Amino acid sequence: MIRVREANAADRASVQEIHRAAFGQDDEAALVDALFQDATAQPVLSLLAEAQAGAVGHILFSAARIAGRKAALLGPLAVWPACQRKAIGAALITEGLARLRDDGVAAVFVFGDPAYYGRFGFGPAHAHGMEPPHPVEEPWRDAWRMVGLVPETGSGRLTVAQSFDDPVLWRV
Ligand SMILES: CC(C)(COP(=O)(O)OP(=O)(O)OC[C@H]1O[C@@H](n2cnc3c(N)ncnc32)[C@H](O)[C@@H]1OP(=O)(O)O)[C@@H](O)C(=O)NCCC(=O)NCCS
């Protein structure tokens, strides 16, 4: 049984541990910390998935703007390695999208695996006239994805938090 709830300051160590274990490096855990402290990323939506044994997954959505409207950028997302393929990632994404929709966010963006995020309605963002903050090289263009939460999302270049506004993060 998995419960998804908003993460709080007391969850910091668990959140860091999940990202380090899932990615096998420190970069994403550091990005999570940077986004928490980044005024331009607020409001962040930080969700934790809990099993009986404790925290097993975490997702972060940071504030962004598209065509003058509220948007969100998904990432990082991580599930504890031994708990992967049990729909925990799916639960975090689905809950996050529902909350952002309730919050009036027009569209959610991600730079990630097209097959995985496609399951949750994320389609090719370039095809909708949505440009990433930094150019994405041809083999990875399909990884730039979006899902609209309102009928009319507009188009243009996504403005993201300072912590995400780094060309290095837009290369694979
Ligand atoms: C990507 C990730 C968050 C998915 O979470 P999850 O809870 O395992 O995903 P779900 O159970 O909702 O979905 C399962 C699907 O995810 C993909 N997947 C999950 N774990 C995988 C793994 N270790 N290797 C390859 N694909 C994987 C598969 O497509 C799988 O579908 P299948 O079981 O039908 O083959 C998780 O695998 C993870 O933390 N990976 C490392 C960090 C990462 O890459 N984060 C995403 C950055 S964009």
Q: Is 84 in the pocket of ligand 1 (CB under 6 A)?
A: yes
Torsion on CA atoms 85, 90, 91, 95, rounded to nearest 10: 170
Of 62, 73, 116, the one to substitute when testing ligand 1's pocket (max ligand atoms within 8 A of C-beta) is 116
The mean per-residue pLDDT over the stretch 5-30 comes to 98
Domain ranges, residue 143: 3-170
> CA angle, corner 99, sides to 11 and 37, nearest 5?
40
Which tens digit of pLDDT belongs to each residue from 86-130?
A: 999 999 999 999 999 999 999 999 999 999 999 999 999 999 999
Exposure string (b/e) for 44-68, b if CB count within 10 Å is 16 or more? bbbbbbbeeeebbbbbbbbbbebbe
Q: Residue 55 is part of a domain; what is its CATH number? A: 3.40.630.30
H helix intervals, the chain: 12-23, 27-37, 88-102, 114-118
If one counts the domains in the chain, the total is 1
- Put simply, whether the predicted model's pTM sits higher than 0.85 gets the answer yes
Q: Judging by DSSP bridges, how do beta strands 156-157 and 130-131 pair with one another?
A: parallel
Q: How far is the CA of 77 from the centre of ligand 1 (A)?
A: 10
Asked if residues 120 and 89 have their Cβ atoms less than 8 Å apart, the reply is: no
Report the chain's mean pLDDT, rounded to a whole number.
97
Check pocket membership of 85 for ligand 1, CB cut-off 6 A. yes
Instruction: Using pLDDT thresholds of 50, 70 and 90, give the confidence band for residue 171.
Output: confident
